[in-house]
């Protein structure tokens, strides 16, 4: 009797072609435990069998910052004399950019790296790239601590807007998520993606105001050029970071352009991912 009651209380699950799961998001919530544990696994395994372990998480952004400060500041002479320390300008741009690019690379390879999971058990596939992206957040926070160390080094006091920084971190996360999902799904079918991404990242660092300030665009060209420039969603984010950290004036029209593109990417990414998700096991 109780057995039957128990059964009838369990929801019926119907599997049919093309049936978009009504409780897709609920399912993801149910599998949150798996999400935690996969993220935990990725973090734990990340620096295994390296001699200096998690120190890599500090060394990588530190070296990149030093190189950038040197190349752009000294050689290309991009630094401004009476502005804030150039190292901090670079760092503020590097922080979101590094997060975005690492997340993209990690996410795009995540499904392929977990082939055995995808082809052997069911779970909402979204979990895998999502946990890959969350994992890179750890590196982000390590870099952030480094930034604070740089503050102390230059005896720099950030403006009050720094309290709004979490908002821009969230935006970076959203952007990584949107683009990441799209790229991940694409990579299952077309393995070219994993070769394209490193180029995209290398190229992107110049198309994005990491080593320079986006004000340069409006000074050299025009305000309209800067608006179009802000269609690159990373521009709005980096501008936001610099506004929060350095107090550089914010160019709001550009920010909203970036925001629109970010939201668009998110919608496209999730849509495409969900559309192709069901065939992952067949194509991987």
Partner 1 sequence: MSKPVIKVEELSKRFIISHEGAERYKALRDVIAQKAKRMVKSPVSAPAREEFYALKDVGFEIHQGDRVGIIGRNGAGKSTLLKLLSRITEPTSGRITIRGRVASLLEVGTGFHPELSGRENIFLNGAILGMSRFEIRKKFDEIVEFAEVEKFLDTPVKRYSSGMYVRLAFAVAANLEPEILIVDEVLAVGDAQFQKKCLGKMEDVSKNQGRTVLFVSHQMDAIESLTSRCIYLKNGTVFSEGETRKTVDLYLNNYNSEDSIATYRDRFGNGKARIVKLEIKKEENTVLGVKQGEAFKILLGIEVNEPIKLDMSIAVENQRQQPLFCTQLSDLQGAIQKDKYFEVLIDVSDPKIRKGDYMISIATYKPDQTEFYDVVHHFPLLSIEGIAETSDIPVDNRLGNLYFPIKWSEIG
Interface with partner 1 (CB under 8 A): 3-4, 7-8, 10, 12-18, 33-34, 36-38, 41, 44-45, 48-49, 114, 116-123, 188-192, 278-279, 281-284
Please say which residue, 44 or 74, places its beta carbon nearer to partner 1. 44
Minimum distance of partner 1 from residue 228's CB (angstroms)? 28
Minimum distance of partner 1 from residue 31's CB (angstroms)? 8
Distance (Å, whole) CA 280 – CA 284: 6
Please say which residue, 174 or 185, places its beta carbon nearer to partner 1. 185
Number of residues assigned to the chain: 284
Please say which residue, 74 or 191, places its beta carbon nearer to partner 1. 191
Cβ atoms of residues 183 and 104 within 8 Å: yes
Half-sphere exposure of 151 toward its Cβ, with a 13 Å CA cutoff? 13
User: Residue 157: which residues within 8 A CB-CB, separation 6 or more?
Assistant: 151
Minimum distance of partner 1 from residue 43's CB (angstroms)? 11
Please say which residue, 147 or 188, places its beta carbon nearer to partner 1. 188
* Token pair belonging to 119: 């082809």
Cβ atoms of residues 180 and 269 within 8 Å: yes
Please say which residue, 3 or 249, places its beta carbon nearer to partner 1. 3
Minimum distance of partner 1 from residue 188's CB (angstroms)? 8
Distance (Å, whole) CA 166 – CA 205: 22
Please say which residue, 128 or 133, places its beta carbon nearer to partner 1. 128
Cβ atoms of residues 239 and 255 within 8 Å: yes
Distance (Å, whole) CA 104 – CA 31: 23
Minimum distance of partner 1 from residue 62's CB (angstroms)? 26
Cα–Cα separations (whole angstroms), residue 60 to 79, 94, 102, 153, 221: 22, 11, 12, 19, 34
Q: 264: how many CB neighbours lie within 10 A of its CB?
A: 12
Minimum distance of partner 1 from residue 121's CB (angstroms)? 6
Minimum distance of partner 1 from residue 7's CB (angstroms)? 6
Distance (Å, whole) CA 112 – CA 117: 10
Please say which residue, 13 or 160, places its beta carbon nearer to partner 1. 13
């Amino acid at each position: 009797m109780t057995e039957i009651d128990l059964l009838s209380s369990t929801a019926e699950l119907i599997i049919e072609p093309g049936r978009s799961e009504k409780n897709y998001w609920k399912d993801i919530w149910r599998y949150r435990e798996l999400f935690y544990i996969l993220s935990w696994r990725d973090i734990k395994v990340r620096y295994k069998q390296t001699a200096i372990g998690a120190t890599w998480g500090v060394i990588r952004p530190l070296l990149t910052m030093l190189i950038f400060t040197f190349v752009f500041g000294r050689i290309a002479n991009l630094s401004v004399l009476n502005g804030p320390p150039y190292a901090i300008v670079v760092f503020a741009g590097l922080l979101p950019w590094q997060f975005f690019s690492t997340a993209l690379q990690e996410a795009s390879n995540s499904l392929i790296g977990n082939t055995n999971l995808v082809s052997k058990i069911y779970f909402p596939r979204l979990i895998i790239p999502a946990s890959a992206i969350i994992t890179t957040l750890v590196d982000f926070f390590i870099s952030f601590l480094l930034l604070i160390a740089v503050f102390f080094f230059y005896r720099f006091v950030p403006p009050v807007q720094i309290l709004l920084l979490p908002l821009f971190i969230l935006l970076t996360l959203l952007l990584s998520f949107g683009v990441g999902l799209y790229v991940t799904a694409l990579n299952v079918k077309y393995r070219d993606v994993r070769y394209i991404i490193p180029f995209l990242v290398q190229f992107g660092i110049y198309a994005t105001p990491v080593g320079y300030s986006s004000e340069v665009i409006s000074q050299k060209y025009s305000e309209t050029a800067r608006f179009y420039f802000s269609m690159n969603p990373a521009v709005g984010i980096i501008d936001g970071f610099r506004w929060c950290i350095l107090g550089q004036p914010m160019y709001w029209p550009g920010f909203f352009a970036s925001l629109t593109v970010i939201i668009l990417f998110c919608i496209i990414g999730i849509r495409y991912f969900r559309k192709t998700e069901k065939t992952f096991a067949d194509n991987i």
